[in-house]
Amino acid sequence: MNQTAPAKPRTPDEVGVPDPFQYMHPVMKKNYGGWDWHDRPQPGVLRHVAKSGDVIYTVRAGTQRQMDVFTIRKLADIGDNFADGHIRFTTRSNIEFMVADEAKVAPLVAALEAEGFPVGGTGASVSMISHTQGWLHCDIPGTDASGVVKGLMDMLHKEFVQEKMPNRLRITTSCCQINCGGQGDIAINVQYTKPPKINHDLVANVCERPAVVARCPVAAIRPAMVNGKPSLEVDEKKCVCCGACYAPCPPMQINGDDSTKIAIWVGGKHSNARSKPTFHKLAVANLPNNAPHWPEVKAIVGRIVEAYKSDAKHWERMGEWIERIGWARFFEMTELAFTKHHLDTWTGARKSMNMSAHLHF
């Protein structure tokens, strides 16, 4: 297939997961497994103290995740000129510079800020949005990722560089309902609103029809002859417009101006701290996919963030705050509608209903 590959390809060295100790800051390597406590001297800066008495300072900064080599080299230069040449990334694509000398912290922070990398993302802040590939690289996206995230982070920049939220606030975005962005205190996800539009001329040649039928979560797809050609048809009364059939069968186009909308979900949490981990829950659907700025989405995210910030107690995450104040109050404070679509209808839905006389007024 690869016509231009060398005649004798090099045999790969299947090294697997690289050993990180060769890249790790020497103080971290020396004190591996031997740390005692930590604190945060200022937003964006962590201080970890080892049982040996050694100290390491970490300065955390936001990046655009999708980085050109010039940006990466600029970060490498900062790492050499102002830090100790060792960096790491967090799961939310923030970069961390480690320094053993406290005197290096302030110049390092200044150098990052001067080059346009916001220092923050620690403690009770809004960290970088965990996101996906979108139009830049995905084969089934309903919207973009890096672009709309850039717009949202511009809006939330202030909450990244300070620690003024009740607890950490984690936001995710996803370009389709597969939700690669994951769970979040606020999750901003594509939500399809129309059944797929099928190009019947192509289905037989492009799609493994039984696999597509099997992929449907509500058994709404069945084989059919259309215009004399073997194809698939969708029972539109059953269809939940999830887009699961689109990936294995591109002629079942799920995206479109009339179909691709944005839904916002709240109260997802990964950590086990205090309450058990939770999934996010629907706050609002059917927002327009107005990239690049998503003004309607931003307005509502802004309102949810403000309501949480003004009303939650210290250490309460979004979902814990809502559980305390009740959903009625959440919808009231955020001026969002509660509709029949907020009532779950999926397997196990009954467990999400209030089967008690506990009420919020």
Partner 1 sequence: MRCGEGTYCLLHSFISMYSYMRLGGRQTFVLNKDPTQTDEQDGEPAKHWKNYTQPGHSENWEDTLKDSDSTDDNSAAGENDNHPTPMLDQLEDGPWPSFVTGLKRLRDKEDAQYSPMMNDLLGQLNHSYENRLGYWKGGTVSVFGYGGGIIPRFSQVADKFPESKEFHTLRVMPPAGFHYTTDLLRDMCDIWEEHGSGLIAFHGQSGDIMFQGCTTENTQKAFDDLNKIGFDLGGAGPALRTAMSCVGHARCEQSCYDEVRAHRSIINRLLDEMHRPALPYKFKFKFSGCANDCVNAIHRADFAVIGTWRDDIKINQEKVKEHIAEKGRKYTIDTVVSMCPTRAISLNDDDTIEIDNKSCVRCMHCINVMTKALSPGDDKGVSIMVGGKRALKVGDMMGIMVVPFMKLETDEDFEKLEEFAENIVEFFGDNALEHERIGETIDRIGLPAFLEALDIDVDPNMVNHPRTSSYVRTDDFDEEAAKWFERKARESGLQVSAE
By CB under 8 A, the residues from 54 to 93 that bind partner 1 are 56, 58, 62-73, 75-77, 79-80, 85-91, 93
Cα-to-chain-centroid distance, residue 228: 44
Sign of the torsion angle spanned by Cα atoms 19, 25, 28, 29? positive
Single residue of 55, 100, 202, 226 touching partner 1 by CB under 8 A: 202
Round to whole Å and give the CA distance between 104 and 122: 19
Should residue 353 be labelled a site residue for partner 1 when binding is judged by CB under 8 A?
Answer: no
Should residue 107 be labelled a site residue for partner 1 when binding is judged by CB under 8 A?
Answer: no
Task: Tell which residue, 122, 97, 121, 100, has the closest CA to residue 110.
Answer: 97
Q: Which is nearer to partner 1, 201 or 236 (CB)?
A: 201
Should residue 38 be labelled a site residue for partner 1 when binding is judged by CB under 8 A?
Answer: yes
Question: Residue 313, Cβ neighbours under 10 Å: how many?
Answer: 10
Should residue 180 be labelled a site residue for partner 1 when binding is judged by CB under 8 A?
Answer: yes
Should residue 173 be labelled a site residue for partner 1 when binding is judged by CB under 8 A?
Answer: no
Should residue 300 be labelled a site residue for partner 1 when binding is judged by CB under 8 A?
Answer: yes
Query: 281-298: buried (b, 16+ CB within 10 Å) or exposed (e) per residue?
Result: bbbbbebebebeebeebb
- CA angle 120/174/67 to nearest 5° reads 50
Q: Which is nearer to partner 1, 201 or 225 (CB)?
A: 201
Q: Which is nearer to partner 1, 72 or 106 (CB)?
A: 72
Should residue 147 be labelled a site residue for partner 1 when binding is judged by CB under 8 A?
Answer: yes
Round to whole Å and give the CA distance between 143 and 146: 10
Single residue of 200, 215, 281, 309 touching partner 1 by CB under 8 A: 215
* Min CB(277)–partner 1 separation in Å: 5
Should residue 39 be labelled a site residue for partner 1 when binding is judged by CB under 8 A?
Answer: yes
Beta carbons of 161 and 119 less than 8 angstroms apart: yes
Instruction: Give the total of residues touching partner 1 (CB under 8 A).
Output: 145
Should residue 17 be labelled a site residue for partner 1 when binding is judged by CB under 8 A?
Answer: yes
Should residue 211 be labelled a site residue for partner 1 when binding is judged by CB under 8 A?
Answer: yes
Assigned token pair, 129: 């949005």
* Min CB(186)–partner 1 separation in Å: 15
